[in-house]
């Protein structure tokens, strides 16, 4: 150590000097701002502890063979009905009819029963009735929202659309033309090009690997009879989850559900897909292309919604790249070095393959550094996990943001439908914050170790030389 400086020789004096220096250092490092009392603004707020009053009810309509979740919400005269037909998504399209579910989603409103497409659209719009259909890999879904005063008409039309859709020819031709054009042009967007190619690589020949819109050949070959066949085979009471929310009573909701869905078949196809066999050792996929930035995408195995380690992994993902600017990933690649506008990670839930995905974009000269830091953070999450302090912060966010899920009536009805698909239970809303609070550091880090592992698939698009596997 060499000679001790003079000011440390006096024992008593040195104590003061060292203390003062330490205090100054602490002030410099952490800043006096940390002492500014922000917590009392929450603790002493005049709005403490206003709970959300909504209650989820399970309603049965035995004479129609239906059961669904319902929440009454009277502050605005609106009603939302969300419905999911399970095992009817894009991955369930027959091999030679790829694109069928998406075309059905686009065309279902084009006429029903005695109503032409134009009349149906006009009448619904005049009454403020909104109806949307969509499909993901696993399910075909829909959502209707209507002013309370238009509910009888809305219900009647939705029933007709589900049971006697017309799929009018001229709209069908135009919808197919649109899809074919998109298939021809969707590579204009580099992010889209990467996502499609990476999806193909991850799942290979499994239907999850398809372009959800289909191929030019299969879309061109789709006929009106295929769509009618789709509606007949896929819309049943046996594969249906319904959520209803809004300004009506439970009794009215039961009548509504019975009217819309009560006459659907009980024999929709429910054969689940096979589980894809993913090769986690595949080489890196790099696509060469001009543009402003390179874009990177990553995928690893995830966990299922009902699995025991769902909440631990949910929190691990949140801390790694799900928390926006405060996530470890963004702190490292964005906030400290300014290498990118931002990175992300997310859990993807599919019935037959759950993934943990991530990505970022950066200009070519910064890309290598950003990727290096990304991989360092990924490895660190797996090897050393997360701290108690990080776990606390994640729990605070997840529990304090709880009430935001009740912002819109359509958000509530969607949530009610998915609570049933994922079998979360009628009391899920009461228990959910408990599930989050119950995660221990040990569980969190076990999940981090298990999922942030070396079986990480990688893909990129941009200015690449010969790195990895080119396409």
Partner 1 sequence: MMKRWYCLFAVLSLCLPLETQAETFKTEEFFLDNGLQVVVIENHKAPIIKQMLFYKAGAVDEAPGKGGIAHLLEHLMFRGTAKVRGQKLNRVLEENGAESNAFTSQDVTAYHQFLDISRLELAMFLEADRMQGLEISEKDFATERDIVFQERKQRVDNNPAARFYETLNGTLWQEHPYGRPVTGYDREITALERQDAVDFYRTYYAPNNAVLVLSGDIDKAAARRLAQKYYGHLRPSQIKSAEFAELPPFYKAKVEMSLPEVRLGRLVKLFAVSSFAIKPEEAYVLEVLAEYLAGDENAPLYQELVLRRKKALAVNAGYNGLARSYGTFSLSVVPAGLPDDAFVEAVDRAWRKALEDLDEEKLERVKRKMLADLVYLKDNPESLAQLAGYMAATGTSLDVLRNYAAGIEQVSAEEVKKAAEELWRQAPQVTGILYPEEKNNG
Q: Is 338 in the site for partner 1 (CB under 8 A)?
A: yes
CB-nearer residue toward partner 1: 309 or 374: 374
Residues 294 to 333: which contact partner 1 by CB under 8 A? 295, 323-326
- Among the listed residues 14, 67, 127, 206, the single contact to partner 1 using CB under 8 A: 127
DSSP code, position 374: H
Least separation in angstroms between CB 284 and partner 1: 20
Closest to 280 in 3D by CA, of 350, 342, 348, 203:
203
Of 122 and 469, the one with the shorter C-beta distance to partner 1 is: 122
Three-class SS of residue 254? helix
Cβ atoms of 263 and 232 within 8 Å: the answer is no
Of positions 399, 421, 446, 468, contacts partner 1 by CB under 8 A: 399
Show contacts with partner 1 in window 258-297 (CB under 8 A).
289-293, 295
Compare residues 134 and 468 and give the one whose CB is closer to partner 1: 134
Q: In this chain, which stretch among 37-45, 199-207, 351-359, 449-457 interacts with partner 1, using CB under 8 A?
A: 37-45
In this structure, the number of other CB atoms found within 10 A of the CB of residue 355 comes to 20
Q: How far is the CB of 351 from partner 1 (least distance, A)?
A: 19
Based on its alpha-carbon atoms, the radius of gyration of the chain, rounded to whole angstroms, reads: 27
Q: Which of residues 56-75 bind partner 1 (CB under 8 A)?
A: 73, 75
Q: Does 396 bind partner 1 (CB under 8 A)?
A: yes
- Whole-angstrom Cα distance, residue 294 to residue 213? 26
Are 285 and 435 spatial neighbours (Cβ–Cβ below 8 Å)?
A: no
Identity of the residue, 138 or 309, whose beta carbon is nearer to partner 1 in the bound complex: 138
d(Cα 83, Cα 72) in Å, to the nearest integer?
Answer: 17
Cα separation of 231 and 161, whole Å? 10
Alpha carbon distance 137, 355 (integer Å):
13
The secondary structure of 85-149 as a DSSP string is ETT-SGGGS-GGGTTHHHHHHHHTTS-BTTB-HHHHHHHHHHTT-EEEEEE-SS-EEEEEEEEGG
- Residue 437 contacts partner 1 per CB under 8 A: no
Q: How far is the CB of 158 from partner 1 (least distance, A)?
A: 14
Minimal distance in Å, beta carbon 96 to partner 1?
21
434 binds partner 1 (CB under 8 A): no
Cβ neighbours for 94, distance < 8 A, ≥ 6 positions apart: 100
Tell me how crowded residue 455 is: count the other CB atoms within 10 A of its CB.
13
List the one residue from 301, 393, 426, 441 that touches partner 1 (CB under 8 A): 393
Q: Which of 59, 65, 250, 402 lies at the binding interface for partner 1 (CB under 8 A)?
A: 402
Q: Indicate the residue among 64 and 311 with the shorter CB distance to partner 1.
A: 311
Q: Give CA–CA dist 434/427, Å, rounded.
A: 11
Residues in contact with partner 1, counted by CB under 8 A, come to a total of: 102
- Cβ partners under 8 Å of residue 331, min gap 6: 325
Stretch that binds partner 1, among 154-162, 179-187, 271-279, 422-430 (CB under 8 A): 179-187
Cα separation, 221 vs 188, whole angstroms = 25
Span of 30-38, 217-225, 228-236, 307-315 interacting with partner 1 by CB under 8 A? 30-38
Tell the smallest beta-carbon distance from residue 1 to partner 1 (Å). Answer: 33
Q: Is 191 in the site for partner 1 (CB under 8 A)?
A: yes
- Helices then strands (H, E): number in the chain? 17, 12
Burial zone of 433 (CB within 10 Å; 0-12 exposed, 13-18 middle, 19+ buried): middle
- Tell me if 433 contacts partner 1 by CB under 8 A: no
Stretch that binds partner 1, among 3-11, 230-238, 308-316, 404-412 (CB under 8 A): 404-412
Chain positions 144 to 163 lying near partner 1, rule: CB under 8 A, are 145, 147
CB 140, min distance to partner 1, A? 10
Contact between 183 and 211 under an 8 Å Cβ cutoff? The reply is: yes
Residue 184 lies near partner 1 (rule: CB under 8 A): yes
Nearer Cβ to partner 1, position 302 or 343? 343
388 binds partner 1 (CB under 8 A): no
Residues 348-387 that bind partner 1 (CB under 8 A): 361-363, 366
Q: How far is the CB of 38 from partner 1 (least distance, A)?
A: 6
The 10 Å Cβ neighbour count of residue 3 is 6
């Amino acid at each position: 150590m060499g000679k001790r400086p003079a000011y440390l020789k006096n024992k008593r004096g040195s104590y003061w000097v060292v203390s003062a220096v330490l205090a100054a250092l602490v002030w410099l490092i952490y800043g006096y701002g940390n002492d500014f009392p922000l917590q009392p603004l929450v603790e002493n707020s005049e709005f403490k502890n206003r709970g959300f009053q909504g209650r989820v009810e399970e309603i049965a309509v035995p004479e129609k063979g239906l059961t669904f979740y319902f929440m009454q919400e009277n502050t605005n005269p609106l009603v939302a009905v969300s419905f999911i037909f399970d095992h009817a998504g894009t991955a369930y399209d027959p091999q030679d009819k790829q694109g069928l579910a998406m075309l059905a989603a686009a065309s279902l409103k084009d006429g029903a029963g005695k109503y032409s497409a134009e009349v149906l659209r006009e009448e619904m719009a005049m009454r403020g009735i909104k109806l949307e259909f969509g499909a993901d890999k696993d399910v075909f879904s829909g959502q209707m929202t209507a002013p309370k005063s238009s509910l009888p008409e809305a219900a009647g039309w939705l029933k007709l659309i589900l049971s006697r859709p017309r799929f009018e020819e001229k709209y069908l031709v135009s919808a197919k033309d649109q899809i074919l054009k998109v298939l021809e042009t969707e590579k204009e967007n580099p992010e889209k090009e990467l996502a499609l190619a990476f999806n193909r690589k991850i799942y290979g020949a499994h239907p999850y690997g398809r372009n959800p819109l289909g191929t030019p050949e299969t879309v061109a070959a789709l006929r009106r009879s295929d769509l009618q066949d789709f509606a007949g085979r896929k819309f049943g009471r046996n594969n249906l989850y319904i959520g209803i929310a809004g300004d009506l009573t439970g009794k009215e909701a039961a009548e509504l559900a019975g009217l819309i869905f009560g006459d659907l078949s009980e024999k929709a196809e429910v054969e689940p897909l096979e589980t894809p066999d993913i090769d986690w050792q595949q080489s890196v996929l790099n696509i060469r292309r001009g543009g402003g930035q390179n874009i990177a995408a990553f995928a690893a195995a995830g966990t299922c919604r009902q699995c025991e380690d769902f909440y631990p992994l949910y929190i691990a993902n949140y801390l790694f790249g799900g928390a926006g600017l405060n996530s470890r990933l963004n702190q490292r690649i964005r906030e400290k070095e300014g290498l990118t506008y931002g990175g992300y990670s997310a859990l993807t839930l599919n019935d037959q393959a759950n993934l943990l995905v991530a990505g970022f974009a950066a200009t070519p000269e910064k890309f290598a550094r950003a990727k290096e830091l990304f991989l360092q953070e990924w490895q660190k999450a797996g090897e050393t996990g997360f701290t108690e302090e990080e776990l606390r912060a994640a729990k605070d966010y997840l529990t304090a943001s709880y009430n935001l899920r009740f912002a819109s009536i359509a958000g509530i009805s969607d949530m009610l439908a998915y609570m049933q698909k994922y079998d979360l239970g009628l009391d899920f809303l009461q228990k959910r914050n408990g599930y989050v609070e119950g995660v221990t550091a040990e569980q969190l880090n076990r999940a981090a170790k298990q999922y942030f592992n070396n079986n990480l698939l990688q893909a990129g698009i941009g200015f690449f030389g010969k790195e990895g596997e080119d396409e």
